[in-house]
Structure 1
Amino acid sequence: MGRSWKQSDIARLRLHAQEILTAAERDPAAAVDAMTAMQGQDLPGTLWAIGLRTGARTEADVRDAFDTGAIVRSWPMRGTLHALTPGTLRMILPLSRDRLVTSLRARHRELGITASDIADAARAAEAGLSTGSGRLSRTELFAVFEAAGQPTAGQRGSHVAFMLAQSGLLCLGPFIGKEQAFVLLDDWAPMTTTVPDRDEALATVALRYFRSHGPATVADFAWWARLTLTDARSSAAAISDQLSVIDVDGTDYFVAPEVIENTPLAKPSVRVLPGFDELLLGYTDRSAVLDPRHSALIVPGNNGVFKATVVVNGHVVGTWLRRDRAKAVDVTAQLFQQLSPTQERDLVAAFEQYGTFRGKPVELKVVSLETSGAH
């Protein structure tokens, strides 16, 4: 008789699949590529999400990967910024582009954006980025749009830049101070492999998603990649022979066989994750990791902004806030679950790892949150 799987097992298996539990010492681009794509709305958090999965790498190492074109940020799916390698970006962009662009038509009518406007902005951006350093800050790019007769006020500039990124013309690459600059994707990171056709790309992305995010359902994959359920089901079926399927409460979850074989289900773990981390946002159903009673503590007011989290054995048990100083990082961890003495020591160690990544010591303060239903 096979093993009986529980929701708590899903959380721990995902820690291993995402290489949070036992991060390998590898370069940032390899870590990002293993994840296929990683949430990238909050840039400082994105850097830590990558560093967390590289073992002993530092923030400078991750920034260098962006500065050399090994990693870029763009909007490959769901209209959301992600970090990914240029090759993966080119493969994913066409998969949900039409649905995404169609969903924006009403908003673009409100903003007065036409196909002709996008074409004019593309020509201006290409000309502006083909001279000098080949990189423009957001402010500089918007100035190029304005000079070409394309207003940028009222989110219009952001939507125009987004459309140029959707076409594969632009992406966010090297740093200018704390900000990433816009660059021409093909100039910044020239294509080195052929982009597969749609069916092959769907199957490839499905396999990589389930291997890096499993256990996950077809519905999780459809949401994550912004695909129709039909496309998600067919691509999952095409690669199902390379995955294991586990049943949890009557629902099938796809997972890499080695994740099941190698995950130490009994070994305790404490990790500190950035806001918007894939462990939480990589799925449409987050209940295996986040107790619904605590959702309002992670996304206050349901405003779409996810706080950084403290995770014990794959489950969210608190949040944390940071404040940078010149020579240290002040961190306040707010817990809504009491930790054991061992877990408290592991929490300190987890923040020491974050301090090493940042190149600054962490001054840690831990407080307990009294919440209804917290345990």
Structure 2
Amino acid sequence: MIPEIRLLSQQLVKPRFKEPKELVSWMGAVQAQDYRMVKWALGIRLKSATLTTIDEAYQRGDILRTHVMRPTWHLVPAEDIRWMLKLSSQRIIKACDSFARGNGVVIPESIFTKANNLFEKVLEGNNHLTKQELETEVVKAGILPDSPRIGYLFTRAEQEGIICSGADKDGKATYALLEERAPAAKELHKEEALALLAKRYFTSHSPASLSDFVWWSGLPVREARQAIGAIESELNKDKFASQELFIHQQWDKKFRNKDVLHFMPPFDEYLISYKDRTAVMDKEHHPKAFNNFGIFYPVILYNGRIVGNWKKVEKKGGITFDTSFFVECPDLDKELLEKAADRYRTFLGKSIKK
């Protein structure tokens, strides 16, 4: 039952949204380490979308990519970025500082201030710059001489609301000023922000546990409990095996899944947003989907379960796919595999090669 409800909650069956911004708002945030493949994570959940649909949303600034909630990349709606940063920025700054010190890197606060001032100067007027271009500006200004440490300046500037993602430039991601990319929105009190974050998570990720929500949101357990308590009237509590899970009342109880198969991108929310992933794949198969260093692989989703891996192969005549299964699926209709492959080709705007 858990996989069936999650398929619906995560818009992997019966998708309700056409626009990327609507989908990202529904999801709360979408983890986005792999900049190219996170676009497919959106495309697979929309009613009808191509890579162009997603790219246009990026160019307009409807959705932004930044470090938020945890010290990792996420997509968030432009109108939500400020209150989400306010909830998580101090935690992320502390985590990044601790990581830096652990690697022998100590950056004085004066350096961060100089970098922020530089970013405001060189990005002003919607002058979006790639990471490499911005690194060149930092070195030229004499702020820091080497690339590995410069990354800490970018993350800190994100947390302080100076920079965020800009429009793509020649297929490359860029940085832009947050003030120019996301006009100021109404501020939320912390209690309102916690409640909204919990609502977004449990409507889009149900069924899920407290520990799942803590993992996804990066919140301390106390604040996560407070957030859940704020929307308690909207949640049902159920026991699944020995685990207590919350299900948002918004899910369609009359819906019945038909056979569904998706080629899922790496780092997809269907796996990465839960602390406990055993509801959708047996623990013995976890190394086939992700490793101990936090790297997630492309996987095949079949009727709510993770059953195999896939890889895109580009050839002169078009795109083909290598697939392998670590779970036996005797009833799997090969036509479902072809439909999943064709959907990805269509998303990319590539020719079909069978």
- TM-score tier after normalising by the smaller chain length: over 0.9
Q: Aligned residue for 2:261?
A: 270
Q: How does 1:1-375 map to 2 (within 5 A)?
A: 9-109=1-101, 110-131=104-125, 133-151=126-144, 153=146, 155-191=148-184, 193-264=185-256, 267-300=258-291, 302-325=292-315, 328-340=318-330, 342-363=332-353
Structure 2 CA distance for partners of 1:113 and 1:269, relative to 1, 3 Å? same
Shift of 1:358: 0.8
Whole-angstrom distance in 2 between the partners of 1:247 and 1:263: 21
Whole-angstrom distance in 2 between the partners of 1:156 and 1:91: 28
Instruction: Indicate the SS of the match to 2:146.
Output: coil
Name the stretch that deviates more: 211-220 or 84-93.
Answer: 84-93
Shift of 1:85: 0.7
2:337 partner amino acid: L
Whole-angstrom distance in 1 between the partners of 2:17 and 2:196: 25
1:288-317 CA distance string (max 9 Å, x none): 1221111111225x3322111101111100
RMSD across aligned positions (CA)? 1.8
Whole-angstrom distance in 2 between the partners of 1:54 and 1:152: 43
2:195 partner amino acid: A
Q: TM-score, normalised by structure 2?
A: 0.94
Q: TM-score, normalised by structure 1?
A: 0.89
Shift of 1:341: 5.2
Whole-angstrom distance in 1 between the partners of 2:86 and 2:46: 29
Instruction: Indicate the SS of the match to 2:68.
Output: strand
1:224-252 CA distance string (max 9 Å, x none): 11011100011101101012222212322
Whole-angstrom distance in 2 between the partners of 1:167 and 1:325: 45
Structure 2 CA distance for partners of 1:152 and 1:39, relative to 1, 3 Å? farther
Structure 2 CA distance for partners of 1:323 and 1:184, relative to 1, 3 Å? farther
Asked if structure 1 preserves the Cα contact closer than 8 Å seen for 2:43 and 2:50, the reply is yes
Asked if structure 1 preserves the Cα contact closer than 8 Å seen for 2:17 and 2:23, the reply is no
Shift of 1:66: 0.3
* Runs of 5+ consecutive residues of structure 2 not aligned to the other structure: none
Shift of 1:325: 4.9
Asked if structure 1 preserves the Cα contact closer than 8 Å seen for 2:96 and 2:152, the reply is no
Shift of 1:159: 1.2
Asked if structure 2 preserves the Cα contact closer than 8 Å seen for 1:18 and 1:279, the reply is yes
Name the stretch that deviates more: 306-315 or 333-342.
Answer: 333-342
1:307-349 CA distance string (max 9 Å, x none): 1110111110011112345762232112112334543221211
Whole-angstrom distance in 2 between the partners of 1:119 and 1:160: 9
Whole-angstrom distance in 1 between the partners of 2:316 and 2:145: 35
Identity of aligned residues (%): 29
Structure 2 CA distance for partners of 1:243 and 1:107, relative to 1, 3 Å? closer
2:175 partner amino acid: F
Structure 2 CA distance for partners of 1:175 and 1:243, relative to 1, 3 Å? same
Aligned length: 352
Instruction: Indicate the SS of the match to 2:175.
Output: strand
Asked if structure 2 preserves the Cα contact closer than 8 Å seen for 1:327 and 1:360, the reply is no
Whole-angstrom distance in 1 between the partners of 2:240 and 2:231: 20
Whole-angstrom distance in 2 between the partners of 1:262 and 1:63: 35
Asked if structure 2 preserves the Cα contact closer than 8 Å seen for 1:86 and 1:189, the reply is yes
